[in-house]
Homo-oligomer: A and B are copies of this chain.
Amino acid sequence: MTSEIFAIEKTVPQSAARAGILTTKNGVILTPTFMAVGTRGSVKALDPQDLKKVGSQIILANAFHLILRPGLELIRSFGGLGSFMGWPGPILTDSGGYQVFSLADARTLNEAGVTFRSPYDGQKLFLSPELATQAQMDLGVDIIMCLDECAPYPATFEETAKSLDLTLGWAKRSLEAWDPSRGQILFGIVQGGFYPELRAKAAEAIAAMNFPGHSLGGLALGEPFEERLLAIETGRAKLPEEKPLYLMGMGTPEDLIESVHRGADLFDCVLPTRNARNGQFFTSFGRLNINNARHKTDQNPVDPKCSCPTCRVFSRAYLRHLFQNHEPLFPRLATIHNLSYYLGLMSAAREAIMADNWPQFKADFYAARTGEA
């Protein structure tokens, strides 16, 4: 199965998992893969060389933040976000809908768009589907998102339905504002909260608009794991399989494995980068908190099965020393490991799919998570 931008190389029987190749103007992306979060045009504590070393194929930035600072005009004068930040590969931007609703103050929302105050300087600003699409095109990135509204969790059926109607109307307008001749790919976003009827309606409506790719949004808001998986399955079932599917803002390693199993191709999440800064490492055997006293004299690397630049050189004891003394080297070394783990997990998942070994890989993934190295 092949769409214009996405070729599925391999599928898995009794699973929706697949290995694909997504072609963007700045490079080819082997899926499934994880996108490191570089909200303001920088993946926290890493430079572009580090991003390559940890296996990044595509990174994520946020149009809302970049519009506010440093502003579109500056980034355009550099020829786009990639040149501005020194990252030569593909970039995906979120429109900033989520940030408008979670970060901005004094929002006034209507069919036309949303008026809000900048969290940076209180300036009054307006964002519409057209403006969000134009902004992302101006950023020169490879994959752009429709402006959407993310219903809160929990929300009533009526609230969720009303929010979905807004998102669907905005999706249509985003699509109309998009200029496909620029080689940038527009993804439609499936909302609908945790009401299967609304998720299905959302997915059907978005599928009917014929976007080059799809996103599942409004997940990982605190809902139970089972509700999350059901929402993914419900959305996926109504979307054409041949198009790439991006699961927005998710998640734990377990979330990623279960979502690959359910047919998702792209992921982003702040967990590996944010938790790194807080001293938490993701490993093949589960999570490791470096501040724990039992690592005080431990000469082992964080994950003996890991060959990332951090695990190759530094011990748990040294990393704990850096963390406890707030040494600015710590966030970088921890982020390098966590992103290596996330990206390595997705690349190993891809290999397993290609080698007809997905069920065993998934079983091994869970079996290794004993909490101890």
Give bound CA distance, A43 to B328, whole Å. 9
Q: Are B299 and A78 neighbours in the complex by a CB distance under 8 Å? A: yes
Q: Chain B residues with Cβ under 8 A from A74's Cβ? A: 296-297, 317, 321
Q: Which residue of B lies closest to A318 (CB)?
A: B84
Residue A52, interface by CB 8 Å: no
Residue A240, interface by CB 8 Å: no
Q: Are A78 and B315 neighbours in the complex by a CB distance under 8 Å? A: yes
Give bound CA distance, A41 to B330, whole Å. 12
Q: Which residue of B lies closest to A328 (CB)?
A: B45
Mask: chain A, 320-342; 1 = CB below 8 Å from B; 0 = not: 11101101110111000000000
Q: Which residue of B lies closest to A329 (CB)?
A: B42
Q: Are B325 and A69 neighbours in the complex by a CB distance under 8 Å? A: yes
Q: Are B325 and A44 neighbours in the complex by a CB distance under 8 Å? A: no
Q: Chain B residues with Cβ under 8 A from A328's Cβ? A: 44-45, 277, 328, 331-332
Q: Are A47 and B86 neighbours in the complex by a CB distance under 8 Å? A: no
Q: Per a CB cutoff under 8 Å, which of B42, B315, B317, B329 touches A45?
A: B329
Assuming the contacts A45-B332, A48-B313, A332-B45, asked whether A325 and B40 have C-beta atoms less than 8 A apart, the reply is yes
Assuming the contacts A47-B333, A332-B332, asked whether A70 and B327 have C-beta atoms less than 8 A apart, the reply is no
Q: Which residue of B lies closest to A336 (CB)?
A: B47
Residue A85, interface by CB 8 Å: yes
Residue A307, interface by CB 8 Å: no
A residues contacting the other copy or chain, number (CB 8 A)? 39
Q: Are A297 and B331 neighbours in the complex by a CB distance under 8 Å? A: no
Q: Chain B residues with Cβ under 8 A from A49's Cβ? A: 309
Q: Per a CB cutoff under 8 Å, which of B86, B317, B321 touches A314?
A: B86
Give bound CA distance, A80 to B199, whole Å. 59
Q: Chain B residues with Cβ under 8 A from A109's Cβ? A: none
Give bound CA distance, A143 to B247, whole Å. 55
Residue A278, interface by CB 8 Å: no
Give bound CA distance, A310 to B98, whole Å. 33
Give bound CA distance, A315 to B315, whole Å. 35
Q: Are B299 and A77 neighbours in the complex by a CB distance under 8 Å? A: yes
Q: Which residue of B lies closest to A322 (CB)?
A: B42
Mask: chain A, 71-87; 1 = CB below 8 Å from B; 0 = not: 00010011000001110
Residue A230, interface by CB 8 Å: no
11 example contacts (A-B, Cβ-Cβ < 8 A) are as follows A40-B321, A41-B321, A44-B329, A47-B313, A48-B313, A69-B324, A70-B321, A74-B297, A74-B321, A78-B317, A328-B328
Please name 17 further chain A to chain B contacts, defined as beta carbons within 8 Å, in addition to the given A328-B328, A332-B332, sorted by A numbering. Answer: A41-B321, A43-B329, A44-B328, A45-B328, A45-B332, A46-B329, A47-B329, A47-B332, A48-B313, A49-B309, A69-B321, A70-B321, A78-B299, A78-B317, A84-B317, A86-B314, A277-B328
